[in-house]
Every structure is written in C-alpha cells, then in structure tokens.
Amino acid sequence: MKQRYDIVIIGGAVIGSAVAYFLAANPDFDGSVLVVEKDPTYAKASTSLSSSSIRNQFSNPVNVRISQFGTEFIRNFAETMQIGADRPDLNFHEGGYLFLASTQDQARTLRENHAVQRACGADVVLWDKNELSRAFPHLNVDDIVLASYGRSGEGWFNNTGLMYGFKNKARSLGGVDYVTDEVVAIARQGGKVSSVTLKSGQVVGAGTIVNASGPRAALTARMAGLDVPIEPRKRTLFVFDCARTPEGSANVNKGRLPLMIDPSGVFCRPEGRFFLSGCPPLEDPCADWDDFEPRYEEFEEIIWPALAERSSAFEAIKAVNQWAGHYDFNTLDHNLIVGPHPEVRNFIFANGYSGHGLQQGPAAGRGVSELIIYGAFRTLDLSEVGYERVVENRPFLEKAVI
Ligand SMILES: Cc1cc2nc3c(=O)[nH]c(=O)nc-3n(C[C@H](O)[C@H](O)[C@H](O)COP(=O)(O)OP(=O)(O)OC[C@H]3O[C@@H](n4cnc5c(N)ncnc54)[C@H](O)[C@@H]3O)c2cc1C
C-alpha cells in the first residue's frame, strides 16, 4: 500500500468495487485507487444480504434508465469481466416483475408509471384481470384491477458474483489496491478532504474520497464533518418451500413465474425449487448497527396470509430459512445520492440506494468514475440524484418503491 492515492474509496462491496472497476477500465484514467474494506467476508454487507433482483418498472425515467443499463451490463457480465479463462456468469434469470393493483389509485399509478417506462423503451405490458389470469392461472385475481408485467429485462442474478466480478477485474486491470482496514477519521481543511486515518493507525493521503460505505454512509460522512440523510433499516427475507409449487405453470416466459408484488406489498419470487419472499415492515425504525436479528413474525403474520389469499398453491408453505439485512435507507426520498458535496467537491457520495443498490451498481459506478475523470457525467446524466437536493430539501420523486 502506498502513502497516497489519487482516489480512496471507503467500502469495497458492490458500489465501491463498481467505482474501482469503471476507473481502472477507462483509458482516460491513469491514477491510483485504494479501496478500504473493513470486512473482507462481506458477511453483513447489504450486497451479500440482498434479494438480488433487477427491474425496469420505476416511475422516474432516471431510475428506469439506470436499471436498463444494469440489465445490459448484467447480461454481458461474463464477457466484460473475463479474466483469462474465468468468465463470471451471473446466472441472470429473466423472470420479470409483476406488480398487482387492487384499487383504482394503485391502478392509476401503474398506468402513469407504464407511460414513463414505455417512453424509455422498457418491455412492460399492462393487463386486466382476465389477461393476468390467462398468463398466471394459479393466481386469485378476483380483487385485481390492473397488473403490470415486465416481459424482458427484469429478473434476478448472483449478487456476490456482481461484486466479486467488479473487484477481481478492477484488480486485474492494475492501479487498484484493496486493503482490509477500517477508515476511522478523515482530514478536512475547509472545502477539501486530504487523507483518511485507518484503524491500524496508518494515514493515507487522498486526492478524492468516495463514500461507498452502504448503510454506514452517514458515519463516514460525519468523519469529514458532513451530513447525509441515510440510516440502516432492517429488512427480513424468507425462503419458503411450497408443497405444490406453481413454478412451471405460467402460460408466458416458458412457464416461469415472475417476482410478484402483491397489492399488500408482500413479494415473492422463485429461487431454485424454493421461493424467496419479504414484505414492508409494519414499523420501520432506524436499526442498531449490529442488529441483524430477523423479524420472524413477519412470515406468519404478514407474508403467509397475503400469499395464501393470492394463490391456493401458497396455502401450504413452510419457511426453511430467513435472514435480515440493512437497507441503506435515504430518509429524504428513498433514492440514491450520487455526486460531490457542493462545498467539499473532492468528497463524493455514492449512497442511499434504499433497496435498489445492487441493480444500480453498474450505473452508479460508471457515473462516479465519469465525475472523477471528466468532472461531469458523460453517458447517463445522474445530476438529478446529486447531493444538491439534500441541501435544498427537494426530494427526488419515485413512486415505485418496494
Ligand atoms: C434484504 C435486502 C434486499 C435487497 N434487495 C435488493 C434487490 O432485490 N435489488 C437491488 O438492486 N438491491 C437490493 N437491496 C439493496 C442493495 O443490496 C444495496 O443497496 C447495495 O448492496 C448497497 O451496496 P453498497 O456497496 O453501497 O453497500 P454494502 O454492500 O453494505 O457495502 C458497504 C461496505 O462498506 C464497508 N464499510 C463501511 N464503513 C467502512 C469504513 N469506515 N471503513 C471500511 N469499510 C467500511 C462495509 O464493511 C461494507 O462491506 C437489498 C438490500 C437488502 C438489505
């Protein structure tokens, strides 16, 4: 490790590693990069605990385009990230997302979102209850007013594969060092940050610092005397077994079921021979940093009743595994914050994805690399999700939040 790097990235999971990769892969960049990661097992990183899905069905065109780039990147990942004979295929299962609306209000939102998605070229269709029932005969559609289904470009993939693909390729390209250590302090003189202090005691000079510390983003920002409205919020995922699985019964997409979002907010998707499910929590306080205890009761009290109501196939289900992770929750508007602090321009935020950070990793990593190399976004303009809106208390509007 050197005593000074052009770029120091704090956090080496999917976002930190995506930034490192896009810097190293750009021929216009010849600087040095240090990624500081305190836990190389990534056991509690959001990246490892994620449900690893990607959708184009957002309401804001910026988010639709971010995910469209993610889809394309995931599809080509093995080729882009190949190192020698090693091709890290992400096993992208293009099962689609299915949003269900049971009220006129929900249906209006789906229609409005659909118009935005179609304008961006997303392959999404709206169905009435009869069309829905033909496509997925196992569903009870009695209360359904409208459904929105992504025919392609959406699905789920290998989460840690995405992170390690970026990390390994970034290192193989040269100019990128990873160190196992924790950033405990950041030196700042007025409008500039200049170094990080590691727990081991070492001080490392930094031309630019990137905050990629996930749910701990606010702790990292505070070291530089800055605020960012991000806190850890607990989400529990359940894997369940289903005695009479409906997977294979669909009349679309080779029989495959999508990731379904019930009007109640409960979601489930196939996961091999099992299903993965979750729900919005009834109460959603800021979590303790080290509290990863699952909310076991959510399965019996919220998920199972909603799914059994939606399909008789889900009447006999049994949770076989569960875990809890932390959303990197942006309390201002539930969306990513990507860009420099307006008064400390060499401190760049790449935080606050609130449940979308895996799929947004490729676009966020590329965007941050462009800010560093060119001083501006070159491909997809992410300035709407910059830090300025935090200062101005101007939420970025996204209606399709899960
Ligand atoms: C249950 C759950 C389900 C999800 N489902 C989806 C989904 O389906 N699709 C989707 O796109 N997204 C999903 N997400 C969100 C997504 O996983 C996250 O937004 C994304 O992984 C954030 O990546 P990150 O690299 O910013 O944060 P993390 O993965 O949390 O990584 C941050 C890293 O920074 C390190 N770090 C922190 N502070 C320091 C420090 N001071 N010094 C050194 N290292 C430090 C940590 O050790 C950690 O490894 C989900 C999240 C959860 C919890």
Q: What are the pLDDT digits (tens) for 359-389?
A: 999 999 999 999 999 999 999 999 999 999 9
Given ligand 1 and candidates 196, 213, 321, which is best to mutate, with the most ligand atoms within 8 Å of its CB? Answer: 213
Q: What integer pLDDT is reported at residue 356 of this predicted model?
A: 95
CA gap 303, 93 in Å, rounded:
23
Q: What are the pLDDT digits (tens) for 138-193?
A: 999 999 999 999 999 999 999 999 999 999 999 999 999 999 999 999 999 999 99
Q: Determine whether domain 97-151+232-326 maps to CATH 3.30.9.10.
A: yes
pLDDT at 401 over 90: no
CA gap 279, 369 in Å, rounded:
34
Q: What integer pLDDT is reported at residue 328 of this predicted model?
A: 96
CA–centroid distance, 254 to ligand 1, in Å, is: 33
For 375-395, letters b (16+ CB in 10 Å) and e give: eebeeeebebbbbebbeeeee
Domain ranges of the chain: 4-65+159-229+332-391, 97-151+232-326
Determine the atom of ligand 1 nearest the C-alpha atom of 323: 1
Question: Which CATH superfamily hosts domain 4-65+159-229+332-391?
Answer: FAD/NAD(P)-binding domain (3.50.50.60)
CA–centroid distance, 191 to ligand 1, in Å, is: 28
Pairing of the two strands 230-242 and 317-330:
antiparallel
Say what the pTM is. Answer: 0.98
Q: What integer pLDDT is reported at residue 55 of this predicted model?
A: 97
